[in-house]
Amino acid sequence: MTLDVSLTDDAPAAPPRKASREARRLQLIEATIETLAARGYARTTLTEVARTAGVSHGLVNFHFETKEKLLGETLLYLAEEYRLNWTAALQTAGPRPAAQLAALLAADFNPAICTPARLSAWCAFWGEAQSRPLYQDCCGSNDAAYICLIEDICARLNGEGGYVLPAARTARALRVTTEGVWLDLMTMNAPYDRAEAWATVCATVCAFFPRHFSPDGALL
């Protein structure tokens, strides 16, 4: 079985001019993601988001009132999008730990979430995590659940394959690899594309679990 990671980007359709309240909020959140990517956390303002969305400042203020509320809603949206992405991948993977790990790693390269703007927006929030409670409040429990899941899968693979590296350390190395290539992809002059980023992750998982994965990501 070879892991399938589509590399085709599907741009979301713009909401109609007379949008429903929820559609308008989604439009403004997407504009916030684009603004964070272009201007960073500190320089993202309601005015800049309005300009990106092509709407009035008053409309943004009507829906979110403050920059803090807008950024909080945007981070919650990204966090839930990410959680739904990997939980959906896990549900289709079946019971084998190797298939589950493959599905979770591949989910990070789903073109719906692995876009330059989204990666840059995540980085903007990560950069604020030490000085602001926003990231921890919105994402702390999701991160903890995901880490525990990856560690459990790695422990099950250790049991199946006789691998000796502690599961927590292997899981951490896999997360660091994925986050590292995400950081590379978000730069303006990315040193490689998403296909190469995925190949890097495949090589890493093979190095830890050579009796379960080939270097190209195929399950053995």
Tens-digit pLDDT profile for residues 96-111: 999 999 999 999 999 9
Contact 81, 75 (CB under 8 A): no
Query: Has domain 14-65 been given CATH number 1.10.10.60?
Result: yes
**Percent of the residues in the chain that have a pLDDT greater than 90, as a whole number:** 63
Higher pLDDT, 19 or 192: 192
Quickly state the pLDDT bin for 160 (edges 50, 70, 90): very high
DSSP state of 189: T
pLDDT in tens, 37-69: 999 888 999 999 999 999 998 888 898 889 999
Domains 14-65 and 75-208 share a fold: no
Whole-structure pTM value? 0.84
Which residues, in sequence order, are bridge partners of residue 219? 213
What are the boundaries of each domain within the chain?
Answer: 14-65, 75-208
Neighbouring CB atoms inside 10 A of 210's CB total: 13
d(CA 63, CA 168): 42
Count Cβ atoms within 10 A of the Cβ of residue 47 and give its class: 0-12 exposed, 13-18 middle, 19 or more buried. Answer: middle
In terms of CATH, what superfamily is 75-208?
A: Tetracycline Repressor, domain 2 (1.10.357.10)
According to the model, what pLDDT value does residue 129 have?
A: 64
d(CA 194, CA 175): 16
Higher pLDDT, 136 or 172: 172
Quickly state the pLDDT bin for 137 (edges 50, 70, 90): confident
